[in-house]
Amino acid sequence: MQDDNHAGASRYSRRAWLAGAAALCAGAALPRAASAASATSAQSVARIIVPFPPGGPADFMGRLLAEKLKDTLGRTVLVDNRPGAGTRVAAEALKHAPADGGTVLLTPVDTMVIAPLIYSNLRYQPATDFTAITDVAGVQFGLAVPADAPYKTLAQFVQAARAEPKAHSIGISTVGTLLHFLATEFVARARTGSTIVPYRGGSPLVTEVLGKQIAAGMDATTTFVEYHRAGKLRVLAVAGERRADALPAVPTFAEAGYPELVAASRYLLYAPAATPPAVLGQWQQSVRKALAMGDVRDKLERTGYDLLAGSSPEEVARYVSGVSERWGPVIKASGFKGD
């Protein structure tokens, strides 16, 4: 009987030991599994949707940001170019993206403010479909003329345009944007009588200004900065609250006598509305780290952007609200419809 009890106890002991060993092995495996899952998450691919074709200033900024976010965000980031319908195609793509932090949109403020005011069939609602993360870079607008034009200042251009309005048309790269309504306001306040001529993008606009098929062009400074530095175009004024970082010698419209003409834009980063706050915070901090890097600042400034440090979602909301309050009445009074 004693031997039977001893044998049973031995069998029990072996079973207990095996069960305990199995439990220990399983417990040891849990951290490794969690670590593997974390590594997989960290290595997952994120997308920055850019609403313009490859090769332009916005695409350059998106790719520069994506490159740096590989380190600051800790995951591979790719640029997803979604041009079309004046940034609306890209916004719709973000609306339908998963709200998991894997997809964000880098877009000018027009997408969130101007488009809702001029398109009745807009298929997204900025207030409910998206949530702001941070701002990324400032975009100034400037009035440019050929470098050998007879006017060296904005006042001289205005004087010439008043004398011969038909000979002093102003080209713009897009319609239904902040740029469009800034040009309209300039013509009205300067009383030049100039015709505003729309082009399909900045490249054909610059080509015709350089070729003197049109007297002047108004567009983002990113379009003009290299031609200005090369002595081919002359930017007469910029529309920011302060002078453009890339063109410190060029006065603002306010300095040139038009204090009402302040219309600097910004590129903003948005995520789908239901994205968790912790994920939004990770993006925000990662972008801020990238924007603080010296080579990033140098490259953005050379491209013509105004440098920003990044901001909070609340600061983005205040900025967007200010743009809407300033330009909403102008747009409504114009009667312009984009449909």
Q: Domain ranges in the chain? A: 46-138+270-334, 141-238
* Topology of domain 141-238, CATH: D-Maltodextrin-Binding Protein; domain 2 (3.40.190)
Mean pLDDT to the nearest integer, 237-241: 96
Query: What are the start-end ranges of the E strands in 244-334?
Result: 265-272, 306-307
Task: Give the position of tokens 């488009």.
Answer: 115
Global pTM reads: 0.85
pLDDT at 7 over 50: no
Q: CATH topology of 46-138+270-334 equal to that of 141-238?
A: yes
Q: Residue 171 pairs with which residues in a beta bridge?
A: 197, 217
pLDDT for the residue numbered 338: 87
212: DSSP letter: T
Residue 166: partners with Cβ closer than 8 Å, 6 or more residues away: 195
pLDDT for the residue numbered 339: 75
Mean pLDDT to the nearest integer, 251-265: 95
Distance between CA 337 and CA 335 in Å, rounded?
6
Give, in words, the CATH class of 46-138+270-334. Answer: alpha beta
pLDDT at 43 over 80: no
